[in-house]
Amino acid sequence: MIGKIEGSDTSVLEQSSAHRDFLKKFESDLLRGIGRLNILKVIQNYGKKGVYGYQLLKDLEEDTNKMLIIKEGTLYPLLRNLENWGSGENRLSLIQSYKEIEDDRMRKYYYLTEEGEKVLSHLEGFFLKLLESIAGINDFQIFLNEDKYIFCPNCKTRIDYSDSDVKFCEICGNKLNFNSKEDNK
Amino acid sequence: MKTETDKLVNNYVKEVKKHLPDWIKNNAEKLEDIMLEINSHIWDSAQEIANSEDPEPKFVQEAINRLGSPKEMARSYKKRGTPKYFISEELWSIYSNVNWIVGIIVFLVIATVQVVVIEPNNLVQALINGITLSFPTIMTFLMVITWIFVGLSHEGYYPEDLDPDKKADKEKDPKSKFYKPEEFLFSGLVGALFGLLIIIIPIDMINLFRIIVNFILDLLGRNTVAMRSEVVGLSVELQIWLTIIGILAILSGIINLAKIGTSEPGYQFKMNILLIFTGIADFVVAAYILANIHLLAEVIPLSDTVLFLLALLGVIGSLIDLATKVYKNTQLYGIMEDESFPVYS
C-alpha cells in the first residue's frame, strides 16, 4: 500500500536480500494500518463536504512530511474497502461517497459516516495509547493533550473532553468519569 | 490536443476495465464509479503536473504512468477478502457447502444404483460398493470445485457477487444474458457426473434408466416382460457408443465449468464455439443411433416403431439444441462488435 518512505535509505543493506525483504515487509505491515488510520483522519478533516481522491493523496503526503505516501493505483480500492468493508452480516461502512460536478468535471467525494467517526476515535485512541506505552522502551516522548481528550480506560477510545454529555464509551460501553482524569487513564 | 489527451485517458480506462474482475464488470454502477474515479484522478494529477487547466499529452501520460499499468491498477481492485488457505474466508462456507451437497448427491446416486439394481438383497455390500465407487468421483468433483473457488477468491469475489438475483444490474447489462455462472455450474457438474457414471458403470446406469421407464410404463399400464428384465452385459458396439456419449458429456461439462471463469464476451464466444462442436458431435451420435436402432433396443426393449420415434426425437432435440447454441453465439458476437466504453471529458 505504501509507495515509499522518504529518508529511509535501504541501499546499504542491498548486499543482503534477506535484510531488504524483511525490512520491506516489516515496514509495509507496520504502515498498512497507520495508512488507513490517516486516510480516515484526512477525510474527517473535510467534514460532511468530503474530499476527492487526488486531494486526499496530496494532503496525506504534505501533512506527513512526505513520510506516508500511498501508491496512486492503490488508493481507490482502499477507499472502496473502507466504504464497504466485510460481507454479509459483517459489513461496515466507515466512509461514504457522492458525485458532484466541479469545474466542469465530475468528481467523487468521500466523507466519514457516523460509524466511521466512532471507529476513528477508537483507532486514534488505541494508536496514541500504544505509542505512549512504547515511548519508554524506544526513548521518545509523546504528548497526548489530555487537557482536551480523555481515553476510555477499557478500550482506549479517544473522547473529546469538552463533550461532557458523553457518559459512556461509544465503542465498549464503559462508564467514563470526567471528574477524575486519573480514573480514565 | 484535447482529443489526443482524451484518447490517452479513455484508452487507459478501457484497458483497466478489460482486466477488472467480473464481480465489478457485472455491476454497472460499480463499474461506472471506478471508471469515474480513475478518470478524474488522471485529470487532477495531469493538471497539477502541467500546472495548467489544459495539460499537454505528455503530462497526461505522466499522470497515467504514476497510476501504474492497467493490469496492476485492475489487480488492486481484486485484493478483497480475508485469505484462508487459497480460498478466502468469505467464500469458505459456500465452498464447504457445495462440496458437501455434491458429495452427498454423488453418493446417493451411486448408492441408489447399488441398492436398487446391483445388490438388492445385500444392503451392506451395496453400501460398501456405493462408498468405494463414489470415492473417486467425489474426489474428482472436489478438485474441480476447489479449482473454481480458488479462482473466484483470487478474483476477489464475495458471496453476494455470486448472487444470481441481481436483476437490476442484469437488465442494465446485455452481456449478463449470456453469463449465468449458476447455470454453468449446474450444467457443468450434472454433465460431468453423467458422463463419468455412464463410462464407469454403464450397465448400472442402463438398469437404473430401465427402472425409471418401468415405473412410468407401470403407471400407464403398458409394461412388458422384456422391459422388466435386467441388463447383465453389453455389446462391444454399444459400450463404445456409451463411452463416446460419456466423453461428450464430460467435455460439455468441463466447458460449462470453464465458462464460469469470466464474463468477457470474447472468452464466452470461444467457449460457445467449443460447445457448438460438442453439439455437432451429439447430433452425429443421435443420427447414428437413429440409423442403428438395435443399439437403442439393447438399452430399452420396446417395439421398433417406439424406438424409431424416440431416436427421431433425439435427433430433433440435438438439432434444436445446436441451433439454439449457434443463435445465442451470433447474438453474443453482435454484443462483442457493439461493445463501447464510457467517454468522460
Whether residue B320 sits in one domain with residue B231:
yes
Nearest CA in chain B to A104: B345
pLDDT at B86 over 60: yes
User: pLDDT exceeding 70 applies to what percent of chain B?
Assistant: 88
Q: Tell me if chain B has a CB within 8 Å of the CB of A105.
A: yes
CB atoms within 10 A of CB B49: 17
Q: Which CATH number applies to A2-112?
A: 1.10.10.10
Q: How is A45-94 classified by DSSP, letter by letter?
A: HTGGG-EEHHHHHHHHHHHTTTSSEE-HHHHHHHHHHHHSBSSGGG-B-S
Classify residue B201 by its DSSP letter.
S
Helix (H, G, I), strand (E, B) or coil at A123: helix
Picking from B23, B73, B76 by the largest number of A CB atoms within 10 A of its own CB, the best residue to mutate is B76
Tell me if ipTM is over 0.85.
Answer: no
Q: Give the Cα separation of B201 and B206 in Å (integer).
A: 9
pLDDT of A115 above 60 = yes
Residue range(s) defining the domain that contains residue B70: 2-78
Chain B residues lying within 8 Å of A88, measured CB to CB = 90, 159-160
Residue ending a domain, choose from B62, B78, B94: B78
B160: nearest CB among A72, A87, A97: A87
How far does CA A84 lie from the centroid of its chain?
17
Among all residues of chain B, which has the CA nearest to that of A1? B76
* Cβ-contact A100, A110 below 8 angstroms: no
Residues 34-73 of A with CB under 8 A from B: 52-55, 58, 71-73
Given the DSSP bridges, would you call strands A69-70 and A2-4 parallel, antiparallel or unpaired? antiparallel
| Residue A60 CB neighbour total at 10 angstroms | 20
The answer on B144 and B106 residing in a single domain is yes
B308 touches chain A (CB under 8 A): no
Q: Which residue, B26, B153, B28, B165, is CA-closest to B82?
A: B153
A74: chain B residues, CB-CB within 8 Å: 76
Contact list in B for residue A105 (CB cut-off 8 A) is 40, 43
Same domain, B231 and B329: yes
Domains in chain A: boundaries: 2-112, 120-184
User: Structure pTM?
Assistant: 0.60
A136 Cβ under 8 Å from any chain B Cβ: no
The tally of CA atoms less than 13 A away on the side-chain side of residue B208 is 19
Q: Please name the amino acid found at residue B211.
A: I
Alpha-carbon span B290 to B286, nearest angstrom: 6
Short-list B256, B283, B261, B260, CA closest to B272: B256
Whether B149 and B290 share a structural domain: no
The per-residue pLDDT for A55 is 93
Side chain identity, residue B172 = K
Determine, for residues B41 and A88 on separate chains, whether the beta-carbon distance falls below 8 Å: no
A58 neighbourhood in chain B, CB within 8 Å:
48
Q: How is residue B120 written as a grid cell?
A: 438388492
Using the Cβ of B26 and the Cβ atoms of chain A, whether some distance falls under 8 Å is answered with no
State the DSSP H helix or E strand holding residue B301, giving kind and residue range, or none if neither. Answer: none
Q: Is the pLDDT of residue B342 over 50?
A: no
Nearest to B68 among A73, A107, A108 (CB): A73
The answer to whether the CB atoms of A77 and B77 lie below 8 A apart is yes
Residues B47 and B121 in one domain: no
Model pLDDT, residue A123: 93
**Chain centroid offset of residue B128 CA:** 32
The contacts of residue B152 (CB under 8 Å, 6+ apart) are B91, B162
Beta bridge partners of A105: A102
SS3 B344: coil
Q: Please tell me whether residues B200 and B319 are part of one structural domain.
A: yes
User: In terms of domains, do B206 and B308 share one?
Assistant: yes
Mean pLDDT of all residues in B152-181: 66
Of the residues B16, B40, B91, B97, the best mutation for testing chain A's interface (the one with the most A CB atoms within 10 Å of its CB) is: B40
Q: Which three cell numbers stand for residue A24?
A: 520491506
Q: Which residue of B has its CA nearest to A107?
A: B40
Lowest mean pLDDT among A8-12, A24-28, A113-117, B180-184: A8-12
Copy the grid coordinates of residue B21.
Answer: 474482475
B343 in contact with chain A, both atoms CB, cutoff 8 A = no
**What 3 state SS string does A55-66 have?**
HHHHHHHHHCCC
DSSP B15-43: HHHHHS-HHHHT-HHHHHHHHHHHHHHHH
Q: Which residue of B has its CA nearest to A72?
A: B67
* Inter-chain touch A105–B73, beta carbons under 8 Å: no
For residue B9, what pLDDT is reported? 92
The per-residue pLDDT for B337 is 66
Dist. CA A112–CA A96, nearest whole Å = 6
Mean pLDDT of the region B100-110: 86
Q: Which of B30, B32, B37, B90 to mutate to test the interface with A (most CBs of A within 10 A)?
A: B37
Q: Domain ends where: B60, B78, B96?
A: B78
Give pLDDT tens digits for B5-61: 889 999 999 999 988 887 788 778 888 888 998 999 999 999 989 887 788 899 999
Q: Residue A144 in contact with residue A174, Cβ under 8 Å? A: no
- When pLDDT is cut at 50, 70 and 90, the band that residue B166 belongs to is low
Res. B157: pLDDT tops 60: yes
pLDDT in tens, B277-301: 999 999 999 999 888 888 888 888 7
Helices and strands (DSSP H and E) totals, chain A: 4, 7
Q: Which amino acid is at B208?
A: L
Predicted confidence (pLDDT) at residue B339 exceeds the cutoff of 80: no
The rounded distance, in Å, linking the Cα atoms of B107 and B113 is 10
Residues above pLDDT 90, as percent of chain B: 17
Inform me whether the C-beta atom of residue A107 falls under 8 Å from chain B C-beta atoms: yes
Which one of B37, B159, B160 has the shortest CB-CB distance to A53? B37
The domain boundary, picked from B54, B78, B102, lies at: B78
Same domain, B70 and B86: no
Same domain? For B150 and B289 the reply is no
How many domains is chain B partitioned into structurally? 3
Instruction: Count Cβ atoms below 10 Å from residue A95 Cβ, excluding itself.
Output: 24
The answer on B320 and B262 residing in a single domain is yes
Categorize the per-residue pLDDT at A145 as very low, low, confident or very high, splitting at 50, 70 and 90.
confident
Residue B122: how many other CB atoms lie within 10 Å = 13
B344 versus B272: which is more confidently predicted?
B272
| CB spacing of A99 vs B67 below 8 angstroms | no
Average pLDDT over residues A86-103: 85
What single letter denotes the amino acid at residue B97?
N
pLDDT at A139: 92
Q: Are both B332 and B232 inside the same structural domain?
A: yes
The full length of chain A comes to 185
Higher-confidence residue of B143 and B171: namely B143
Nearest-by-Cβ selection for B76 from A73, A106, A107: A73
State CA B324 to chain mean position distance. Answer: 17
Query: Touching check for B36 and chain A: CB below 8 Å?
Result: yes
Count contacts between A and B (CB, < 8 Å).
57
- For B113, phi then psi, to 5°, come to -60, -45
B342 with B243, same domain: the answer is yes
pLDDT, one tens digit per residue, over B214-250 is 778 777 776 666 666 777 778 888 889 899 999 999 9
